[in-house]
Every structure is written in C-alpha cells, then in structure tokens.
Amino acid sequence: MKKVHGNDSFQRMNYLYQISKLIAEKNPMLSSYYGNLIVNVAKKNVLKIHPDIKRQICKKCRCILIHKETATMKIKRKHKSKIIEWTCKTCSAKRNFPTNKDNDHRVWLEKPEAVVEVIN
C-alpha cells in the first residue's frame, strides 16, 4: 500500500473546509479566516486544493461561497454561451464560470485521462 504525500495536511484542509462551511452563515469573517488557513496550509505543503473546493472559496476575502447565504448566483448569457456569476456578499467580489453543453469546460483533474492510478 502506498502512502499519500501530505495526507495529514489534506485531512487538516478538509476539516478547516467543513468548519468554514458550517460557520459561514453565522460569522462570515471567521469563515474567511478558515478559508485563509486552507490556502496557507496548501501553499506551505505545496499541495493542490481540489477544484470543487477552490471554486467555493472567494478569491478576495476567502470566505466560503454558499448560495443565498454568503453569495448570490446569477446565470448570464454572453455571446451565445451561458456564464454562472457568483457574487460574494462579504466583499462584493465576482467570479465567472462558463457553462456550455457543446464545449467541455471541465478542469483537467475532472477529465478521465487525468487519472493515472487509484490509491486505496
């Protein structure tokens, strides 16, 4: 059995993410503090944050973006393509994500050819 590099750091990042998500509605500033800790742990140990988690963290204040609680979500049309726009209620920062059925807008990690080996 192979040992995963930085397993304890991944567990810590997961724990901080869960706490941040639970506390986001009650105290957005504390949520942004935990979000900042997640990014700092990843940087210090040279680890990548999973794209699903990374998309839920505000780029400016690092608060967890939850629909109707800490952020608002709008679906917009630009040049025959749909875009999801997230707006943080804490700092008013905006993030756009393309969503089009014809084009494959998945991150590399989400594509099947990215998986080389599965470790159990």
Write out the DSSP string of 60-92.
TT--B--BTTTEEEEEEEETTEEEEEEEETTT-
pLDDT, residue 1, reads: 58
Chain-wide mean pLDDT for the chain? 88
Q: How far is CA 110 from CA 11, 50, 52, 82, in A?
A: 21, 10, 10, 20
pLDDT, residue 116, reads: 79
> What are the pLDDT digits (tens) for 9-36?
999 999 999 999 999 999 999 999 999 9
| Residues 108 and 51: beta-carbon distance below 8 Å | no
Residues 6+ apart with CB under 8 A from 97: 55, 83, 84, 86, 105
Instruction: Sketch the domain layout of the chain as residue ranges.
Output: 7-101
Residue corresponding to tokens 């997961």: 14
